[in-house]
Structure 1
Amino acid sequence: MKFFKQKSADDKSPKQSSTPIRMKLILGIIFVLFAALIGQLAYLQIGYGSRFKAEVQKANSAVVSSQVPRGVMYDSKGRTLVGSKASNAITYTKSVSTTTADSYQISNSLSRYIRIKSEKPTDQQVVDYYLGNKANSDRELALVPKAIQKTQDEEKINQAVQDQVRQRNIQLTDRQKTAALIFNKISGAYTLSTIYLKNNGLTDKEIAEVGEHLADLPGVGIGTDWRRSYPNGSSIKSIIGSVSTEKTGLPSDDLQYYLTNGYSRNDRVGTSYLEKEYEPLLKGTKATSKVWAKTAGNIEQSKSVYSGQAGASLVLTLDAKYQKSVQKSLESIYAAAIASGAAHYSNGAYAVAMNPKTGAILAVAGISRDPSKNKTTRNALGVINQSFVMGSAVKGAMVAGGLINKVISPSSNVFPDTPVYLPGTPIKKSVYPVGTFGSLDAESALEVSSNIYMMHLAMKWVNAKYVPKQDIRMPDTAFDTIRHNFNMFGLGQKTGVDLPGEISGIQGRSFNEQGHILSGSVLDLSYGNYDAYTPIQMAQYVSTIANGGYRMQPYVVQSVGRTASNGKKIYIDYNKKPNVQLRVPWTKDELNIVRQGFWRVVHGTNSWGTAHKLKDVKPAISGKSGTAQTFYFDPNHPNRKNPPELVNATFVGYAPSNNAEIATAVVFPGLDPDLEGSYTLQMTRAMVQNYFKLHKKRN
């Protein structure tokens, strides 16, 4: 029998003794890795915990904004000219996870309760709605020719699918048409943005039915929208301007400007005139809410962050009643001119009234006309963006310039009334027969509207060398000299009125092709038959004479404020201060020469006086009439030979003559010279009498 020697605990084999060492090494490495991981987690938690928390919250929440009512505009008496009328609306807020199928289902469900009758779906919208149904989409996709499918070009395949649907000429029911319109609105909405699905003509029944089924219409809600209203008539829109719709959104011309200033593409903005000029004030500040979304993308919670601020209120210088009366008078008198044949070729008429002491515009009216169709439209802003050769109405500025520059003086201002004879051109004279007057002083020249006087004044002023029937010699600066004088009164340059689109007028050529000064045209300029000015410039010019020499900046917005929540009180934050752009450097005696000439135009005794028909108006009017030769331009026949000769008829004036409260400018362009009549005087009479009647003033 063999016996084996028992090994002691210390007698281990090499293999047995190495196992614990490896295990210890592995465990040690694991421990170190866990320690490093825990250390890194602690570092991230302590150092970046708040940052990561904010990122997570940002991914699951967003701030959405909603529209606030646009600012209200009032007339000078506090009457609402344009307001924002609240109306019920069906809204929709698009969630993160909304699919085409969801949009299709919501559109069909909502179309059970509301109808959209103000719009009709386009052919493309019908196609998109039809393909929003997955069954229809799959069926149409299967019918696409194999050759197109093999290209795997998604754009070509989609186009082929849409072409197939168009060829089917799908007819929708009324309910499906509504669904198609809703589908289009939802599909075009941005994620987590709120849009209006129906905001016009919503009935109580529709609101009630939608409200009952909101649980089945994810994202749909009932809210409030606004739209522009005109309690005192829409004629004022030609001054106030327009606002874009949610459908048209931001105007393409200014898209980048609005986007960089925080607007959304479907925001409604002012697109013309006051609505555009004061857009930053009128738009207000949008209401904002914070919404949280579930993991699936559906909106879980919404909290108001800022209730928003309605747009600022504007108080205008216009009196709604006076504005209506001026527009009505202009339309009535112009219609009479058309009926008589005097305005057969005329393209419109314009009138503006302003306070000569402040520059506040009291009324502005205009008519545009297409002579070929005898179609007229209101165009009040033609007073700032249409220019005409005004004729003798500007002679007050010419005489004033001669006096200020010491070409003539209050005690020495007589010129012989002899016509100007230039080679190769018709005689340059006044309307009255040659020899009617031997000589004229400045006041008489204004009264009888002497062209001859203004030409002699111009020649002396620029140091022209004139010999009858020979070429006249003038310095190259002659035009600049006369134009600088007219500019001093606002003629030929922008007035700075707070309306967009103002033009400076049209300046005729100063030199011919050979570089020689057009000396005969300098003479035409002197009596208002060369450069073209706007009606608002004419109003500013006559106001400068009326108020004693202060060229006032015209303005339409008197003050800016806020309307109380009850809509019955305006809190004013800013008042416009009259702005003197220039002080005419004349003496009292020099001013009186011009004023006396304007008085005699209306109240003088000379039979060649041009505005005696206004002599009986109370309070007394002073002013200056004018006619300028022009020709009819037919846009359909631009090369027409021997176009009809016409005249632009004008009148500028102010009343009362001794302390003016109103200054007016009236222009009737393109009248028949044989039937010119006294339409501008009729309009001036109506403007002055209606103004003082409304304001209960007496001379």
Structure 2
Amino acid sequence: MVKKSKKENREKLPFRLNLLFFIMFIMFSLLILQLGVVQILKGEAFQKEIDRTIRDTTKVPVPRGKIYDSDHKLVVGNTPLYAITYTPAKGLQAEERLKVAKKLASLISMKTNKISERDKKEYFYLKNKKKVVKRLSEKEKEKLDDTEEYNLALERITDKEISNFSDQEKKIIAIKKELDKAYSLTPHIIKNEDVSPEEYARVSENLNDLPGINAIADWDREYPFKETFQNLVGNITSEKQGIPKDKQEQFMTRGYSRNDRVGISGLEEYYEDVLRGRKEVIQYTTTKDGTTVGSEIVVEGEAGKDLVLTINMEFQKKVDNILRDELKKTIQKHPYQHRYLTDAIAVVMNPKTGELLAVSGQTYDREKNKFIDTGYKALHDAHLPGSAIKGATVLAGYESGVIVPGQVFNDQTITIKGSPPKGSYSNLGPVNDYLALRRSSNVYMFYIALKMGGENRYPFPNGSGARFDLAAWDKMRSYFQQFGLGAKTRIDYPYESIGVIGKKPFNPGLLMDYAIGQFDNYTTLQLVQYVSTIANDGYRVRPHLVKEIRNPSMTDDRLGSVYRSQGTEVLNRVDMDLSYIKRVQEGFRQVYNEPRGTAVNYFGTAKYRKYKAAGKTGTAENAYYVDGEMKANTENLSLVGYAPYDDPEMAFAIIVPHTGIATGKHPINFTIGQGILDAYFETFKQEKKQQ
């Protein structure tokens, strides 16, 4: 093998280097050529791309979910409306908004009655900026910041200069005022009242000349049943009102915008998260001068989910009318005697499922001679219930061991030292637990309270002091709370009262008052949960107003698929033997159906026996106060019940506060109860026949 010389190797090395340099020269030449092409031929197009801002997104509201009753009749819907909106780009100046306002003013009408003097001055300033600024001296400018300088310039504009604007100029000012309210990349309603189809079309055709303006189909809430149940449905804010200031932080952390409409009361508030829907998200690409050069829908909008109520609106209307009619009859019959009577409240519920079938409150406005729908009072207003709660007292007596089933006490007036005499409406003589409920014996309940407090003497020696253990208060209240008396019912609603719970004084007489419903105050909703728990063999279920949440429907003739069902929720089983509850159920049956039962005259007739109703009556003394001053002694009339007593499917509670006091009883609580039973079986039995 012949070896190459060192000289030959040295000669080949420069050749390779030269070849490498040549290749590199060609590559750099091509790169320079390409840069030249980019700079010279396509420079303008690429510069525009460079000048674009980052992509921003905006969220477009969608129609709110609808609300239907249990028969799928529309209770709350959406009325479509045309609307003109404005979504400003970032950093847009007042001059640019004025240009938009001028163009828009030629296309739409606009009310001008709300423009202020400052609005006019701001418009004049933009039109005559150099002229107005010259009115400020250089010394003044040196001392002021930009805002102070602007405000001083506005002050120098005279009243004469802003007094002769034409109608068209006033319209421009009114439109610009709305444009100024808009937040960057957030749609703001400029006009959504009385937008005509012609205006909608004109704006739609000129969107290219109106940066940030859009013509959309907006919506507003409609109520086919008008005022019926509306105050419990609640309200939403308007587009211009937006989110209340005290709640803005709470909502905006959840993806809301300041001008979003939100539920602020009732079911609209409680079910806000499902009713709101999913906004359509649009991604915009804009140039630095605010011109939109591209848009893309990145999230499809979806209307809010629909609610199906447990409320039957036909039955609800009947209950409302019953309360109004009976209030009117009672007040007209004895106007002076019932001068403090204004309200009647009733709640009807399925005791097994907790479905609320009707929630009604009616208030008579004497000055205007009209009725106001105040159904919220069933959840908010607490009243002394009287003897209606004696079922809980008897059960507390059983479970605490101070009485046994069949226990007999002699119903005679009891006098405790230092307290006025306490008795029933008359001395009833010996009564057992059944008779105590049937005839509404106060004395029987007094002995339960005394014994729970540690007083074991029987008969009680009138005139002496009673032994009393303060722990009896907590003990009896704990039993009552198992039925929902003095506790939250847990209804699906933003607010409910737990009633008015009095202080527990070291006084056996007041515990005796508590035992007959003359101390703590309860809502009508609490009373219906209490009687439902007895009807339901001791199971306390959560009352609810919404039966189902449905996905938005694609058509108007049918509801969407079920998103979530609100099933029966058992809150607790009362800590009492079932045999005890059965005895109270029998006592309640006797109240409505057996001789000398306190409700037998109204529910023991042939007409009402067919409903097989059971329950308890109540009357509570209740002084009427105005500004802390007692004006009169009045009564609260109450009634709780359920039917049929052998297989309950409905339970009801009625409170009529501040009736007049008379030797004869006012039957308004009974006549309302009769009307509710008639309406229930007429409405729901007819439905079952049709099915």
Amino acid of the structure 1 residue aligned with 2:439: V
Q: Which residue of 2 aligns with 1:645?
A: 633
1:377-403, CA deviations, whole angstroms, 9 ceiling, x for partnerless residues? Answer: 322121111111111110111112222
Does residue 545 (structure 1) correspond to residue 534 (structure 2)? The answer is yes
Matches within 5 A, 1:216-365: 216-339=209-332, 340-341=334-335, 342-365=337-360
Deviation track 1:247-271 (CA, whole Å, cap 9, x = no partner) reads 1111222221111111111111110
Distance 1:229 1:463, change over 3 A: same
Count of equivalent residues: 634
Mean Cα deviation higher: 544-553 or 158-167: 158-167
TM-aligned CA distance change 1:199 to 1:128, over 3 Å: farther
Pair 1:170–1:321, CA change in 2 (3 A):
farther
1:647 partner amino acid? E
Distance in 2 (CA, whole Å) between partners of 1:171 and 1:534 is 61
Among 642, 651, 655, the residue aligned to 1:663: 651
1:479 aligns with 2:455: no
Cα distance in 2 between the residues matched to 1:172 and 1:473: 87
Structure 1 window deviating more from structure 2 (582-591 vs 557-566): it is 582-591
- Partner Cα distance (1:646, 1:373) in 2: 23
User: In the alignment, residue 530 of structure 1 is paired with which amino acid?
Assistant: F
Q: In the TM superposition, what are the counterparts of 1:214-613 in structure 2 within 5 Å?
A: 214-339=207-332, 340-341=334-335, 342-368=337-363, 376-410=371-405, 412-432=406-426, 435=427, 437-464=428-455, 467-511=461-505, 517-567=506-556, 568-606=558-596, 609-610=598-599, 612-613=601-602
Distance 2:454 2:440 in 1: 23
The answer to whether the aligner puts 1:151 opposite 2:143 as a matched pair is: yes
User: What is the one-letter code of the residue matched to 1:650?
Assistant: S
What are the superposed Cα offsets for residues 570-603 of structure 1, whole Å, 9 maximum, x if unpaired?
Answer: 2002111211112134445422321222122222
Of stretches 208-217 and 167-176 in structure 1, the one that deviates more from structure 2 is: 167-176
Per-residue CA distance 1:368-422 (angstroms, 9 max, x = gap): 4667887753221211111111111101111122223332222x31111121102
Deviates more, 1:687-696 or 1:420-429: 420-429
d(CA) in 2 for partners of 1:661, 1:508: 34
Distance of 1:87 and 1:634 partners within structure 2: 47
Alpha carbons of 1:423 and 1:314: their partners in 2 closer, same or farther (altered >3 Å)? same
State whether structure 2 residue 56 is matched by structure 1 residue 67. Answer: no
Residues 453 and 470 in structure 2, CA contact (< 8 A), matched pair in contact too: no
Deviation at 1:208, TM superposition (A): 2.5
| Cα offset, 1:664, TM superposition | 0.5
TM-score normalised by L of structure 2: 0.85
The DSSP-based 3-state class of the residue aligned with 2:551 is: strand
1:150–1:374 CA distance, 2 compared to 1 (3 A):
farther
CA gap of 1:93–1:164, structure 2 versus 1, over 3 A, is: same
Query: d(CA) in 2 for partners of 1:441 and 1:174?
Result: 86
- Structure 2 counterpart SS, 1:563: coil
Kept after mapping to 2: 8 A contact 1:403/1:590: yes
Q: Which moved more, 1:589-598 or 1:443-452?
A: 589-598
Instruction: Please state how far the C-alpha of 1:285 moved relative to its aligned partner.
Output: 1.3
| Residue 605 of structure 1: how far off its partner (Å) | 1.3
Range with greater deviation from structure 2 (126-135 or 344-353): 126-135
Q: Which moved more, 1:180-189 or 1:374-383?
A: 374-383
For each residue in 1:285-311, what CA deviation from the matched residue of structure 2 results, as whole angstroms up to 9, or x when unmatched? 111111111232211111111112221
After superposition, the Cα gap between the structure-2 partners of 1:540 and 1:221, relative to the gap in structure 1 and judged at 3 Å, is same
Cα deviation digits, residues 621-640 of structure 1 (max 9, x gap)? 211111111111213xx3x3
Instruction: Kindly state the Cα deviation for residue 423 of structure 1 after the two structures are TM-superposed.
Output: 2.9
Structure 1 pair 526–57 and aligned structure 2 pair: CA distance change class (3 A):
farther
Deviations 1:304-354 (A, max 9, x none): 111122211111111111112112222222233333325422352211100
Question: For 1:679 and 1:171, how far apart are their aligned partners in 2?
Answer: 66
TM-score, normalised to structure 1's length? 0.84
Which residue type is aligned with residue 413 of structure 1?
Answer: Q
Amino acid in the other structure paired with 1:392: S
Q: Which residue of 2 aligns with 1:619?
A: 611
Contact 2:60 2:280 in 1 (8 A): yes
The equivalent residue for 1:211 is 204
2:177 is matched with: 184
**Structure 1 residues 378, 105: closer, same or farther in 2, change over 3 A?**
same
| 1:633/1:215 CA distance change after superposition, 3 Å | same
1:647-688 per-residue CA deviation (whole Å, 9 max, x = no partner) reads 111111111222111101111111112286111112111212
In the alignment, the residues of structure 2 paired with residue 353 and residue 174 of structure 1 have an alpha-carbon distance, to the nearest angstrom, of 58
Of stretches 446-455 and 360-369 in structure 1, the one that deviates more from structure 2 is: 360-369
Structure 1 residues 153 and 97, CA gap change in structure 2 (3 angstroms) = closer
Match of 2:186 among 179, 184, 193: 193
Cα distance in 1 for partners of 2:330, 2:157 equals 58
Alignment check: 8 A CA contact 1:345 1:371 kept: no
User: Does the 8 Å contact 1:352/1:539 carry over to 2?
Assistant: yes
Quote the residue 1:12 is aligned against: none
Which of 65, 81, 92 is the aligned partner of 1:87?
A: 81
Matched, 1:628 2:623: no
Counterparts of 1:325 and 1:679 in 2: how far apart (Å)?
16
Distance (Å, rounded) in 2 between the aligned partners of 1:481 and 1:204? 69
- Indicate the SS of the match to 2:446: helix
**Structure 2 residue identity aligned to 1:667:** I
SS of equivalent to 2:467: coil
SS at match of 1:599: helix
Distance 1:684 1:128, change over 3 A: farther
CA distance in 2, matches of 1:530, 1:651: 17
Whole-angstrom CA distance in 2 between matches of 1:173 and 1:471: 89
> 5+ unaligned residues in a row in structure 2: which ranges?
1-27, 33-46
Match of 1:25 in 2: none
Amino acid at match of 1:541: Y
Counterpart Cα distance in 2 of 1:294 and 1:439: 94
Read off the aligned partner of 2:672 and give its amino acid letter. M
